Structure 1
Amino acid sequence: MDIRQLQYFLEVAKHKSFSNASKSIHISQPTLSKMIKGLEEELGVVLFNRSTRAVELTEAGQVVQLHAQAVSQAMENLQSAVADLSELRAGSFSLGLPPVIGASFFPKVIMEFRRLYPQVTIKLTEEGGKQIEQRLLAGELDLGVVVLPVDGQLFETVPIVNRHLKLVVPLDHQLAHKRKAVLADLKDEPFILFRQEFSLHERVKEACIAQGFTPNIAFESSQWDFIYELVCAGQGVSFLPETICARMDKRKVAVIHDVEPPINWNLGVIWKKDSYLSHAAKEWIQYAKKVF
């Protein structure tokens, strides 16, 4: 059964005439008659009483009309819903954000996107970067924002932010009043880092190893404010994004902006390679690119 057959049937029922219906839908009357005859044969019933001046529905035709109207309305609803998605009047996507990244950059971005597209639903999940990658591969998230690089064979990537991590030390530290720090000089320092499931952990560790030493990790946390408090208490040094450092009380810690060599903190929107992205997700990627 073809949806067009039902639509043509409804037109004949509406006009009570094959000729008027054929003019309305711009097909020839013989073609219309053939379509209706095919529908009757498929259903095994006569739909129209053709013996009267006006074409009248049979009892079976009245039943088919009721259901055909429901099918036609459902098709219109489907087309309208797809149009809403493509024009971003509706839609949804899931987005994974590591806590430090979400707190640093995205509250205003998400607020402005929601203002532009109020009917789009963003399902936010806070996870470490590595967990976000795993959930993307498992199909549990549509998009993620993580520290780059990631495996290009597994993920599509759109870079959005290029930054360097800043060194945070206690006020009584020997580097507290220096304008520049050399990473290799920190080899004997206790480090306070984000937990291993966070990409920042690996970025700092890899940078240290490249300078010939493995960092002595004294504490790990998933919360930047706890890391900050530990540094305040003189328990070690840390590397944090400048957006987080801007929130810190400079009467309690010192932030050294120039570190040699710099530890890159580059962010990107990523998604699983060859996966389907909704119109809303694609628009959010473009919006993030424009903002950053």
Structure 2
Amino acid sequence: MNFTHLFYFKTIAESESMTEAAKKLHVSQPALSKILKQLEDELTVSLFERKGRVLHLNSKGNYYLKIVNTIFKELEEGKKNLVEMALEEEKHLSFGTPSSRLLEPLFSDYVRESAEKRTFSIKHLSNQQAIKDKLLSQEIDFGLFYYPVHHPEIESQLLWTEEILLAVPPEHKLANRKSIKLTEVKDEPFVAISNDFSFGKITRDICLSAGFIPNIQFEMESFDFTIHLVNEGHGITLIPNTWKNLLTNTMPTFLKIEEPKCERMIWLLWHKKNNDPEKITEFYEFAKKNLNKD
């Protein structure tokens, strides 16, 4: 006897049909019948009565199903408790975000100042729906994204807003300017992050708000290569202000945008009924204090 045989018996009992049970278990009907026969032989009793094509548990089968259900319930409960114990012991915090750069200003300070020794994991989730789904299933504790999530079970709190700049090649005709109106570059070639990524959509939305569709010559998935192409004179691009501080090689020229207002919002998202509300509150209060800029 093994747990697979018990699970097969449970499925047959719930289906009341060998054919339906075989379909659910993705095994052949003869193989399933053989396993049931082996189980009954081992128990030395018959568990079912057949009425036409329908299988009904007899009194011994009903008794045995209660025991089997209890076993599987206890196993599932034990698994859940072990996971919760492990998370409690580790004080784990999990995040979902389109860019780990959104967490870089926070991590070192939080690890240094937090009274709890925590572990962390970060899932790369490129869009809002993916973050929403992971929050609702509580596969992550927090999401960081550029828009709030409108759902009754999810809390959205604005952490900070970040200025978006225009990057132009060093030899560009506008490189000696400190600021521009975005309409001044409506005919310029753009090097843009792919629309599959959140900032790609932000780039396009900003241009549309300025009254034009960007002339995208290069669409990239790599931020570093985007900046490289701009620096080499192949186009211009929009860039979050904090990203320019991460550049280490020769940089393009960065201009402030007078209009339209160019910024992105960073929202912290979490499930209102998280299994560990204490750590949620602690992290949110810390994040609000340390990342609420401007």
Shift of 1:287: 0.9
CA–CA separation in structure 1 for the residues paired with 2:249 and 2:258 = 18
User: What residue is the counterpart of 1:95 in the other structure?
Assistant: 95
Q: Deviations over 1:182-226 (max 9, x none)?
A: 112222222222222332222221121122221122223333211
User: What residue is the counterpart of 1:262 in the other structure?
Assistant: 261
Give the ranges of 4+ consecutive aligned residues of structure 1 lying more than 6 Å apart after TM superposition: none
Would the aligned equivalents of 1:156 and 1:273 in 2 still touch at CA under 8 Å?
A: yes
Between the aligned residues of both structures, percent identity stands at: 24
CA–CA separation in structure 1 for the residues paired with 2:248 and 2:119 = 36
CA–CA separation in structure 2 for the residues paired with 1:221 and 1:277 = 39
Shift of 1:250: 8.7
User: What residue is the counterpart of 2:150 in the other structure?
Assistant: 152
The partner residue of 1:109 within 86, 106, 110 is 106
Which residue identity does 1:228 align to in structure 2? I
Which residue identity does 2:141 align to in structure 1? D
Which residue identity does 2:97 align to in structure 1? L
CA–CA separation in structure 2 for the residues paired with 1:136 and 1:193 = 29
Q: Deviations over 1:224-282 (max 9, x none)?
A: 21111111122211111111123446954110023311212111111246555542233
CA–CA separation in structure 1 for the residues paired with 2:148 and 2:229 = 30
Which residue identity does 1:229 align to in structure 2? H
Q: Which sits farther off after the overlay, 136-145 or 237-246?
A: 136-145
Structure whose alpha-carbon radius of gyration is higher: 1
Which residue identity does 2:218 align to in structure 1? F
User: What residue is the counterpart of 2:125 in the other structure?
Assistant: 127
Shift of 1:286: 1.3
CA–CA separation in structure 1 for the residues paired with 2:190 and 2:253 = 15
User: What residue is the counterpart of 1:161 in the other structure?
Assistant: 160
SS of 2:187 mapped into structure 1: coil
SS of 2:135 mapped into structure 1: helix
CA–CA separation in structure 2 for the residues paired with 1:198 and 1:277 = 31
User: What residue is the counterpart of 1:224 in the other structure?
Assistant: 223
CA–CA separation in structure 2 for the residues paired with 1:165 and 1:132 = 23
User: What residue is the counterpart of 1:187 in the other structure?
Assistant: 186
Q: 1:271 to 1:258 in 2, by over 3 A?
A: same
Query: Is structure 2 residue 220 aligned with structure 1 residue 233?
Result: no
Would the aligned equivalents of 1:191 and 1:217 in 2 still touch at CA under 8 Å?
A: yes
TM-score, normalising length: structure 2: 0.60
CA–CA separation in structure 1 for the residues paired with 2:106 and 2:174 = 35
Shift of 1:122: 1.8
Which residue identity does 1:178 align to in structure 2? R
Would the aligned equivalents of 2:182 and 2:257 in 1 still touch at CA under 8 Å?
A: no
Q: Tell me the C-alpha RMSD between the 2 structures.
A: 2.9
Q: 1:273 to 1:236 in 2, by over 3 A?
A: farther
Q: Deviations over 1:69-118 (max 9, x none)?
A: xxxxxxxxx9xx99x95xxx85223112333xx33x53352223223245
TM-score, normalising length: structure 1: 0.61
User: What residue is the counterpart of 1:176 in the other structure?
Assistant: 175
Unaligned runs of 5+ in 2: 1-80
Q: Deviations over 1:44-81 (max 9, x none)?
A: xxxxxxxxxxxxxxxxxxxxxxxxxxxxxxxxxx9xx9
Q: 1:250 to 1:125 in 2, by over 3 A?
A: closer
Give the length in aligned residue pairs: 205
